[in-house]
Structures are given as structure tokens and as C-alpha cells.
Structure 1
Amino acid sequence: MRALKKNGSSKFIVITGPTASGKTQLSVALAEILNSEIISADSRQIYKYLDIGTAKPDPEEMKKVKHHLISILEPDQYFSAGEYQKMARKCLKEIFLKGEIPIVAGGSGLYISALVEGVFEGDYKDDAVRAQFKEIERERGSAHLFRILEKMDPETAMKIHSNDSKRIIRALEVCTISGRKMSDLTREKTKKCNYSPVYFGLLWERRELYNRINIRVEKMVEKGLFQEVRRILKMGFSPDLNSLDSVGYKEVLRYFNGELSEREAVELIKQNTRRYAKKQMIWFRKNPEIKWLPADSSVSFTKIAEKIAEEFIQK
């Protein structure tokens, strides 16, 4: 199927939504229908070896459809939203050149925003200011810094994980030096994508979504989540890596440190995943362009994919 054009600007599909909502299944079903490829918009699936805890597409799904930006970095490599923007836009262009419709799939609001809207590339830098925020982090933790950012620039805070201290400190640095919100500066100084996104998301009743989260966490444990974390550590990677400071990994690391029992770690993963899903939905609801498609326990991802394909073609 040839990529469609509108006003000289090619359109692509974005499948987004909270964790455990079925983005992978839906995007794979859609890619099969459109004979296309998927670009991941997940800030953790980009790392090698972090497979179970990030719910990467399984080997069968990867075999069915070509995926981009999954398992391309070592766990200790830093990867910015700006780098993601460049790589993802390159993937978009390459897929369009094949005459296909790109499908971007993932729940990282920061990465999707970087791809579509661009990222801030201003010169607001001050070592002394950055050092002050790093000291605050050492004394009171990244959660405290995140609360400060939420007050200074809630829009930017919604795009950053509450444990991502590097990006939190960078945003605080920009806000402090410029005296303005980083989100406002970003709108003024970034280059938008040359292609036009068409957004779709799966909308679950909260109780059902939380049940899916709980079931998925149990399946992760059965598949070997704890063994995966231990294997990563045995490879020589530090437990303090930013890539491991995320839901699913940080709780297992606390278990290894003797802070939690195994069952406590599992239940905490469920709790923190539910909280993360709630935070994601708050962010996604701010995007009026997302068309939410109702989903329940009887959902057929193939039927929903067919509906998306039909609607996309008609646009």
C-alpha cells in the first residue's frame, strides 16, 4: 500500500496509550495489514538485554514485522530525546521512501513529542546552577527535584519520567537560567517534523487496565524477570544505571539488596506500574488529536487494526 500524502506532507500513524494497553499487539496487527514497519517510541526498549521488564515484542512479533529502535544501545549508554528525534525521523524518511506507511508505537510522551514537535536545543547552560540541583538530588533524591519541576513547568514534567534525574536537572537548569518555562522555549526554538501524525490509542476502563497490568507483571516474573536483572548485573553493568532506574528493575534491585521480599517486590512493581499508567493517561488526555478506541476483555486487536487502517486511508 502506497503512503498517502496530504498537502505535500506524508502522514504516519502513531499508536500510543498507557502501559499494558495493547500497543504492541495492535501495532503488529496494523503493520501486517498495511505491510509496513514499526518505529518504537519506548525509552527503555531501546536498550539491549532489558527484554522482559520492558515488555519488548516477542521473537514471533519481531519476525512478523520489522521493528526499528529496539535493542540498539548498551544499558550504560546515555540516549537523549534529541538523539531519538534524529534517528526516528531518519526511520520515517526511509520507510516513506519504500512507499510504506510508518507506524510509531510506544508510550513515551517525551519521545513522541520529540519526534513530532522537536526538542529544545537552546544554549541555557550554567555549571554552577546544574551543580546546585545535583546537590539537591544527593540530599533529597530525584523525586524531590521532580516535584520542583512540576511546580516550575508542569508541561515539561509530564514528558519526563520522575526518576530521570538527568533530564529533570536539565529542565530545571533551563528554567532557572532563562526565567521561563522550558516548554514555552521548546515551542519557540524547535523544528517540527515534516510529516503529519495521525494518533490512535486504546481506551480501557481503569479497573480492566489495572487488571491487565497485574497479570502482565505476574507473567514477567514467570518468564524470568528476576533472572534477567541478575544476568545484567553479572555482565558487569552497574545497578545505578539510568536504564535500570525504572519500574520493574528498580524493585528487583531492592530485592537483591535485601530491602524487599520477592513478593513485596512483585506487588510494588504492580503498584508503581499502575501509577505510571495513570500518569501517562494524564499526559495523553492533553493531546486532543488522539482518537481513543474503546477496548475491553473481548478486544480483537485485528479488528481494531482493520478499523484504524480503513479510517487512515479515508483521511
Structure 2
Amino acid sequence: MNLTSMPHRSGSVLCHLFALRSRKADRLHQQQRIAMTDRTAKHAASVPLVLVLQGPTASGKTALAHGLADVFPLEIISADSRQVYCGLDIGTAKPTEAERKRYRYYGIDLCTPDQSISAGQFARWAWEWIGEIAARGKVPIIVGGSGLYVRAITEGLFEESGRISPAIRSQLAERLAREGRQALYAELERLDPESAARYSDQNPRRILRALEFYYAYGIPLSLAQSTLLHQPPPMRIVRITLLPERSALYERIAQRVHRMWEAGLVEETQHLLSHGYDRSLPIFTTIGYAEALMVIQGHLDRSSAIERTIVRTRRYAKRQITWLRNSTPLGTVLPHFGDQAVNIVQPMIDQLLHSADEYSCDKR
């Protein structure tokens, strides 16, 4: 019986009963709150903590991941669509052999340069890696890299029910070569404005994929993705985004590009060609490798190729920053480079792991 349905009593009796019922309700509420907190803690303990570290190229993501892994039980998932290729080491800023021995890495050297891995396939593998890492009592840190890969891992993925007709692919590829990507992007803006907004960097492969899907199935890719999405497994995602000051970032980009060329980018590109990989493969359009190929072919001198690589990398970083600000949850934003941010991030990670340890103790 609640208070509104109680029969009328004198004021003193009613006050006494109200006090008793209030104390009883308070005790019940406290018990329920404790029980709910316990259930929440146990649920949190069963859902893996996943750190997501993003930022533009040359912002120091790898340095920050390594600095944190030196202190905390982290294992690194590289979500970079170029580091999946065997043999593309220098131009993709892949961690060195020594670093890969010191830190446990996933997502590197998964296929040969003439193969491809979709964001969906990568996400499925990443979900398995996350489960394995958490089962060993470690914490995965996703370092991206490719915004599309990170998005597929954290938000889910769409898988087509069938294959795109080769005729559609070839027709659109011919149009891309003949009309240019701006013309096809304008067409995508008309047919699938949501996908066009997501692909504001006008990446030709993504434009082609969205148009291929539209002409194959008759509906926008964005609509299919929103209605036929494969959801990721439960994860407690904590995001860290590095957004250093732009002029300083551009200077670091120039320094990194010079190091890549000094480390043997041309020789690495020549090595790929000598192993029979056709120069028409998408890998040879990648920033750095495209310029190295032009040097090998005699179309550019070395200094011009280096300068062109710097300019293209800066433009790419600018597009990455725009995409990060407009298309993803940023989480904790740090206006620093990764090597400068280690001491800032450490207390936050320590608190997260301490909370997780308390949850585990409660569960036991």
C-alpha cells in the first residue's frame, strides 16, 4: 500500500508511520543501489576496455602507444590500411622489427601487395584480437591509421550480399580515367549525398565503391549501411585524439618524409617491382611509393619527388583532421604530439585500469 492509498489517521500517527516507511524505503533504496552498482561493475568487468588512439599522420600515435605500453599491459592493433601489406615498410612508417619484438602487434603484414583487405574483413579480425587480448588480461589499443578501419571496428560494418558485376566495375573505372574523380564525386553527391559527405577527401577508390554499389543494387550505399549493419561486440571504448598545431605538424611531416627517403624508399619500391608486382597496383598510387616509382621511371628527380611527397602528405593530413573533427567522436583531444602526451595520458589510463581491477575484485 502506498501513502496515497492509506486510510486517514491523526497527524502524529501519520508522521510516525511516514518516518518508519521512509526509513524502510531508504534502506530498500540503498540495498537496490548497491545491488545495481554491483551488477554494473560486474557487467563492466565482462566488457573489454578498448583504447582508440587516432590522429593525423606524423602526429606521434605510435610513439604514444609505445610509451603507454611500456607502463601498462597494452597490446597494439594497428588499424592502418597500408600497414597490412607485406613489403611496404618504410613508406608506411611501419614499426621496426625491434619494436615489434618489444610490443605485441596485430594488423601488420596480413597480405601481399597484390591482395586487398576490406574494412569489414579487418574489423572481424580485430574483434577476434580484442577478445583474445582481453582474455589474457591485457588491454587492446587501436592505433589508426585508417579512419574507415577504426570506424568499422568501433561502429560496425556492412557486408554486401553478392559481388559487384565486373562490367559495372570496368565501366566506372574507365569513366574515372576519362572524366576524373571530381566528375564522379559530383555524381555521387547527387545519388548518395551521405556517402559523398563521408568521402569528402574524394578518395577515388571509395567513390568508385559507392557508385558501384548504387548501380549494382539500385540503392545508396549509405542507406544499406544504416539498415544492414553488423554490430560490433560490446566494448568500453575510450578515445584519445592527437591534434597538434598544424604548422608544427607540417614540419614533422617534412622531417618524416626526408627520413623515409634516406632510409631507402626508392630501393623498397624497386624491390617490390623486382618481385613482379605490377606498377598499376593500388599500392603504387600510395603517397611516397608513387613518387618513388616516378623517380625509378625517370619522370621526377629525387629532390622534386621528395617535395611532392611532402606536399601530398600535408594535404592528406589536412583531410584527416577535417574527417576526425566532422565524422568521429573525438573523446579526449590533446593538442600535442604523441611523444609529448605520454605523461598527460598516463594518469587517465591508470585510473581506467584501476577501476577495471576493482570491478574484477568485486566479481571474484
TM-score (norm 2): 0.77
Rounded Cα–Cα distance in structure 1 between residues aligned with 2:309 and 2:186: 22
Letter in 2 for 1:107: G
Match runs of 1:166-205 below 5 Å: 167-178=206-217, 180-196=219-235, 197-205=237-245
Residue type of the alignment partner of 1:291: T
- CA offset digits 1:137-167 (Å, max 9, x no partner): 23234565345445644654545975553x4
Equivalent residues of 1:255, 1:262 under 8 A apart:
yes
Contact 1:48 1:75 survives alignment (8 Å)? yes
Structure 2 counterpart of 1:63: 101
Residues 89 and 115 in structure 1, CA contact (< 8 A), matched pair in contact too? yes
Question: 1:118-157 counterparts in 2 under 5 A?
Answer: 118-123=156-161, 125-126=164-165, 128-142=167-181, 144-146=183-185, 148-149=187-188, 152-153=191-192, 155-157=194-196
Q: 1:65 to 1:5 in 2, by over 3 A?
A: farther
> Which entry has the higher C-alpha Rg, 1 or 2?
2
The one-letter code of the counterpart of 1:93 is G
CA deviation digits over 1:154-187, x for unaligned, max 9? Answer: 654545975553x432211223455543223212
Structure 1: which 5+ residue stretches go unaligned? Answer: none
| Contact 1:45–1:56, Cα closer than 8 Å, also in 2 | yes
Equivalent residue of 1:204, what SS? Answer: coil
**SS in structure 2 at match of 1:33:** coil
Compared CA separation, residues 308 and 5, structure 1 to 2 (3 A): farther
Alpha-carbon shift at residue 258 of structure 1 (Å):
2.3
Matched positions, count: 310
Contact (CA 8 Å) 1:229, 1:249: kept in 2 or not? yes
> Would you say the 8 A contact 1:160–1:168 is kept in 2?
no
Compute the displacement of 1:243 (Å).
2.2
The SS at the match of 1:226 is helix
- Please tell me whether residue 210 in structure 1 is matched to residue 250 in structure 2: yes
Confirm or deny that 1:290 pairs with 2:331: yes
Q: Percent identity?
A: 38
Q: Which has the higher helix share?
A: 2
TM-score normalised by the chain length of structure 1: 0.88
How many Å separate the matches in 2 of 1:224 and 1:308? 39
1:1-315 equivalences under 5 Å are 6=44, 8-123=46-161, 125-126=164-165, 128-142=167-181, 144-146=183-185, 148-149=187-188, 152-153=191-192, 155-157=194-196, 158=198, 162=202, 165=205, 167-178=206-217, 180-196=219-235, 197-286=237-326, 287-295=328-336, 300-310=340-350, 312-313=352-353
Q: Measure, in 1, the Cα distance between the counterparts of 2:341 and 2:330.
A: 21
